[in-house]
Amino acid sequence: MYTGSTIFSQLMQHVPWHHFHRCVDRYRGDHKVKEFKCSDQFRVMCFAQLTYRESLRDIEACLRAVRPKLYHMGIHSTVSRNNLAHANERRDWRIYAEFAQFLIAEARRLYADEELAVDLEASVYALDSTTIDLCLSMFPWARFRRRKGAVKMHTLLNLRGSIPEFILISDGKMHDVNILDYLMPLPGAYYLMDRGYLDFERLYEIDSCQAFFVTRAKGNFKFKRRYSRPVDRSTGLICDQTVLLTTFRSAQAYPDPLRRVKFRDPEDPNSLLVFLTNDFSLPPMTITQLYKARWMIELFFKWIKQHLRIKAFLGTSPNAVKTQLWIAISTYLLVAILKKRLHIEQPLYTILQILSVSLFEKTPILQAFQASEPKTQIPNERNQLSLFE
């Protein structure tokens, strides 16, 4: 019989605590704190994410019911609503933001060899944002519309393994295109964006960094055709052109030629897509496949909203909201790292479901993910008479 650590403790062993404490020391998170330190706060918030707790009262009730096991989970302080609410309110959210960046780097290293949906050796990133709705009466600082509150999570997703490369949490009013000012394009990488990021001055900065972008043209896009390449119209391609911008301000912002690829999906005749890119070497169908791969970031946003606790918040201040969001992201990354290190074949959704019901079990963590069907033993006794002979 296994009498070692609980599954939750084994999961926490994959947390680089030395780096976590560096982040805590940098922002003085444990300054004048006698109990319920930042490490306890992180463990409790991870527990809430993994077991789908919805409120402070919910977390307190569940952990008090298993109080003898808290020490074995690594929680050495009393867990109460006041302690957790005060920690989320006062502990600097940048502790968890910086720690999440370290987990991003670790996950990126583990998923570097993952295959892409497109046969391409370069790094491919999808850029987009998702809006997280908030009640304006409870979060007055997060005004988004006249009667609506929200924050935005801007994400640069590495399509090898669906690992977020860069995340910025802003107020709901921040326009998507402004996030391009925070990025440092990687030479040779591809950045996939929708029409909301169509700003020629910022796109020219990506081109100046010897990186590539693929985006969609707007309906009022003005251009002058310089050259047309032959295309196979049976694949859905309509044209593959080299164009120059003709609008005065756009031409000043982006003086170099652009590539314009027009495509109609054979499976959906009503869809007509016009792509713009600064890459002239890839086949036109690869450009369309690259943009199609951008849909992975939409699936990523849908996944985290369904399976992480980022709809109901445990505090109303900006610090509490950002703390919960960054710890939710850290939990996602931690599970992704666990999956890769232990070579678990199940998808992340299945791993989360198994963890949610087995955190207090004392069994080797890898054994919990081994799918084994119970076998019913049929006795070979011949003394029982057959009723149907």
Question: Is residue 40 in a domain?
Answer: yes
pLDDT of residue 373: 47
Percent of the chain surpassing pLDDT 70 = 94
For residue range 107-141, list pLDDT tens digits in order.
Answer: 999 998 888 878 888 899 999 999 999 999 999 99
Task: Please provide the size of the chain in residues.
Answer: 389
Q: What is the mean pLDDT of residues 63-87?
A: 87
Domain of residue 356 covers: 7-95+312-368
Q: Are residues 87 and 16 in the same domain?
A: yes
pLDDT of residue 69: 84
Q: What is the mean pLDDT of residues 215-219?
A: 91
Question: Is residue 105 in a domain?
Answer: no
Question: Is residue 118 in a domain?
Answer: no
Closest CA to 106 of 338, 309, 294: 338
pLDDT of residue 388: 57
Question: Is residue 57 in a domain?
Answer: yes
The amino acid sitting at 187 is P
Question: Is residue 47 in a domain?
Answer: yes
The amino acid sitting at 323 is T
Q: How many folded domains does the chain comprise?
A: 2
Structure tokens at 365: 């963590």
Residue 376, pLDDT above cutoff 60: no
For residue range 28-69, list pLDDT tens digits in order.
Answer: 999 988 889 999 999 999 999 999 888 999 999 998 888 888
Closest CA to 347 of 301, 289, 295, 307: 307
Q: What is the mean pLDDT of residues 245-270?
A: 91
Q: Are residues 277 and 333 in the same domain?
A: no
Question: Is residue 259 in a domain?
Answer: yes
Residue 379, pLDDT above cutoff 80: no
Check residue 195 and report its DSSP letter: G
Packing angle of the helix pair 17-26, 94-110 (nearest 10 deg): 150
Q: What is the mean pLDDT of residues 320-343?
A: 94
Q: What is the rounded CA–CA span in Å between residue 353 and residue 348?
A: 9
* pTM, full prediction: 0.87
Question: Is residue 133 in a domain?
Answer: no
Q: Are residues 45 and 91 in the same domain?
A: yes
Three-state secondary-structure class, residue 220: coil
Question: Is residue 179 in a domain?
Answer: no
Q: Are residues 323 and 361 in the same domain?
A: yes
Return the higher-pLDDT residue of 156 and 117.
156
